[in-house]
Amino acid sequence: MTAADTAEYRIAHLRDRLASEDIAELGVRIEQRGTGVALYGTVSSSACREEIMRLAEEELGGLPLHADLVVVRSDAPEHPEELT
Amino acid sequence: MIRVAAVGDIHLGPDGAGTLRPAFETLPDCADLLLLAGDLTRHGTVEEAEVVAGEVAGLDVPVVAVLGNHDYQSDQEAAVAAALERAGVTVLEKDGVTLQVGGVRVGVAGTKGFGGGFAGRSGGEFGEPEMKEFIRYTRRCADGLRGALEMLAEAGCAVRIALTHYSPVPDTLAGEPLEIYPFLGSYLLAEAVDAAGADLAVHGHAHMGAEHGMTSEGVRVRNVAQPVLGRAFAVYHLPVHAAESDGQAADGDRASVAGRPAGVR
């Protein structure tokens, strides 16, 4: 099997690690895109984002990684929603 | 009008202490109560629950919560709930609570809920014991939610809110992969809400989902997972209708239905 063939298993292993290790992050989408892997979603902190990328580089070494991980905002809302 | 603030999936750990407190301190100006829709911690430890407690302790609005799957991860869910209760949070599981808000009796019914999927694409009580128990557990959660909503109606609540972690409808999962919908919610929760009636259903769990949805009977559903909201919480203004009956419950009372027979449905 080539690296591309096994990418889906390596992505599954990365998901397992994100769920089971200290980071406990289940909210990130990880998908094969062309010859690389896209990681996207909203995470709780910049430290969390860095840890996800560290684990991704460990598990998916050799595959191009395209990350779009946004740190969640903690501002109060500016407007309510009126439910009439 | 009742002002309901809500957020879920805040996933706090020791490194998150203080991140939400500044926004929560604005609550008395914009909301009458705060609902927390589960996944309050990362691993479900007491240490993490105490961080959550610190974010909401002493706020001038009542705080009502359900736990989420992350809050069960360390098999310490009872201790997690106790840590939140010590900070004044009412933690619901198959029960409800009444609150007095400016002369209006407001009821919140809550359960974590569970998965199974949505009508036409759902798991059933068939086959292996593990599969049957999966769906039976969800059904027990839904029965508890329905029973609590019914008790809140009997208690004369003019406004009733269903609070869950898992989703009652697929609408608010839009953006999540279709393949994982059965792990994100169950139609049994929506059926319970529609059977008992509610003014609003609030849930979390689906980080990539959408905020707005509705049950088959027209109950508005809101996914308040913090990654969906993109802010510390959302605020919903609910109109007040006349109470359906003159209940005798004292506000703050818990309306537990945990011991009800499953035949409530």
Mean of pLDDT values over A8-35 = 90
CATH at A65: 3.30.1340.30
- pLDDT tier at A2, thresholds 50, 70, 90: low
What pLDDT, on a 0 to 100 scale, did the predictor assign at position A4?
55
Tell me: pLDDT of B75 over 90. yes
The model's pLDDT over B138-175, given as tens digits with 9 standing for 90+, comes to 999 999 999 999 999 999 999 999 999 999 999 999 99
- In Å, how far is B208's CA from the nearest CA of chain A? 7
Which residue type sits at B69?
N
Check residue A72 and report its DSSP letter: P
Please, what sign has the CA dihedral across residues B52, B56, B58, B64? negative
Give percent of chain A above pLDDT 90: 71
CB nearest to B200's CB, from A47, A82, A83: A83
B248 pLDDT more than 90 = no
- The rounded distance, in Å, linking the Cα atoms of B57 and B87 is 5
Instruction: Classify domain B2-264 at the CATH superfamily level.
Output: Metallo-dependent phosphatases (3.60.21.10)
Using a CB–CB cutoff of 8 Å, tell me whether A29 touches chain B. Answer: yes
Measured distance CA(B121)–CA(B140) in Å, rounded: 20
State the pLDDT at residue B243. Answer: 53
Chain A residues with CB under 8 Å of B26 CB are 76
pLDDT digits (tens, 9 = 90+) for B98-135: 999 999 999 999 999 999 999 889 999 999 999 999 99
Q: What pLDDT score does A53 carry?
A: 96
Candidates A48, A74, A81, partner chain B, best to mutate (most B CBs within 10 A): A74
Residue A84 in any domain: the answer is: no
The pLDDT assigned to A21 comes to: 86
Contact B231 A74 (CB under 8 A): yes
Dump pLDDT digits (tens) for B222-241: 999 999 999 999 999 999 97
- Expressed as residue numbers, the domain containing A12 is 3-71
CA distance A56 to A8: 13
Note whether B53 and B22 are within 8 A (CB).
no
The kind and range of the H/E element at B228 are helix B226-229
Q: Is residue A51 part of a domain?
A: yes
Is the residue at A79 inside a domain? no
Helix or strand or coil: residue A11?
Answer: helix
pTM metric for this prediction:
0.91
Averaged confidence pLDDT in chain A: 90
For chain A, what is the domain count?
1
Please choose, from the candidates B62, B96, B110, B106, the residue with its C-alpha nearest in 3D space to the C-alpha of residue B239: B106
Percent of chain B with pLDDT over 70: 91
C-alpha distance from B119 to closest chain A C-alpha (Å):
25
pLDDT of B265 reads: 20
Q: Which of A24, A47, A83 lies closest to B220 in CB terms? A: A83
Average pLDDT (A12-35) is 90
Tokens encoding B98: 């009444």
Asked whether residue A41 is domain-assigned, the answer is yes
The burial class, CB within 10 Å (0-12 / 13-18 / 19+), for B80 is: buried
Interface ipTM? 0.86
User: What does pLDDT average to over chain B?
Assistant: 93
HSE, CB side, 13 Å, CA atoms: give it for residue B172: 32
- A56, part of any domain: yes
pLDDT at B260 over 50: no
